[in-house]
Amino acid sequence: MSTAPWQREWQNAIRHPASLLKRLGLDASLLEPATRADRLFELRVPEAYLQRIEPGNRHDPLLRQVLPVDAESADSAGFGDDPVGDHASLANGGVIHKYRGRALLITTGACAINCRYCFRRHFPYADANASSGQWAGAIDYLRADPSISEAILSGGDPLSLNDRRLGALSEALASIPHLRRLRVHSRMPVVLPSRIDGALLEWLTGTRLTPVMVIHANHPNELDGRVADALQRLTARGVRLYNQAVLLRGVNDDAATLEALGERLFELGVQPYYLHLLDRVRGAAHFEVDDATAAALMRALAAVTPGYMLPRLVREVAGEPWKVPIDWTRHAPM
């Protein structure tokens, strides 16, 4: 089987801090701490994303999302390995079933990019993913529960798998009578837009299930021309697009950036959906924005943004039956 262009791009991603710093002309003093943090959670940045980072700018908001730093080794109270209760919600076959009506399949542990704030950076993928059993356990679980109307593919990033496997999975899911929608959570359209090719569109839109894709962009600089083209290919085939962003200190914790992000997403046919408060995963405390600051940002954003473009500010809380909304309208001003 020939290697697709996106697979070659992924295989050639930068994997070593020294290579990243050299490519971007960054100070060598960053190498030692980056190397230490890389041992905890390895670096991975594809070329398509690297090209959007400003050379020589150690404070670039895209660089901050991918560069390993010493702060990741800090022991911070309230931060742990399973911040959203995934482990407790795991069912047979790599299925996470937290919310009524929908269930999530951990399809793989692989991603095209390793975001430093990843809430599953400590997840035991080797022991708990749907692909390890060639989907059988996951399909049996979904088939046995008629209350489930939506299957969600997650990971890692499900689009890191090849189209042959994903096509077989989508057909198996479509054979379950009570399923109505196939939702894919992926950062690939943003970080590796070449992934959105004809083969992907065939399996994603080729069954009776309504296709939905939730992408993940945190900053308007992530949404360049190649990303715009990829998103247009999806919308042209009837895929409904939503964005989930994470509120990150030093990346998008100002109203102007959030406004620009929402405007750009909407321009590209993507509905701003959730703005997540940081999942408190060990190694990511330096990204946290406190609730009062988040509420102030939402008030500032609401003052300049149409209501239909305003994302919902939420936090995921282990054990809760839905994502918990933050009432920023009543939160005490700073």
- How does pLDDT run across 243-298, given as a tens digit for each residue? 999 999 999 999 999 999 999 999 999 999 999 999 899 999 999 999 999 999 99
Does position 326 have pLDDT exceeding 80, yes or no?
yes
- Closest to 286 measured CA to CA, from 67, 113, 82: 67
pLDDT tens, 167-177? 999 999 999 99
Among 128-132, 177-181, 257-261, 324-328, the minimum mean pLDDT is found in 128-132
Where exactly are the structural domains of the chain? 5-73, 86-325
What are the backbone dihedrals phi and psi of residue 165, each rounded to the nearest 5 degrees, phi first?
-70, -40
Task: Using DSSP bridges, classify how beta strands 271-276 and 90-91 pair: parallel, antiparallel or unpaired.
Answer: unpaired
Q: Check the annotation: does 115 bind a ligand.
A: yes
pTM confidence score: 0.93
Q: Mean per-residue pLDDT for 71-98?
A: 77
Please state at what angle helix 163-174 crosses helix 136-143, rounded to 10 degrees: 20
Q: With the C-alpha atoms ordered 32, 74, 313, 237, is the resulting torsion angle positive or negative? A: positive
Overall CATH class of domain 86-325: alpha beta
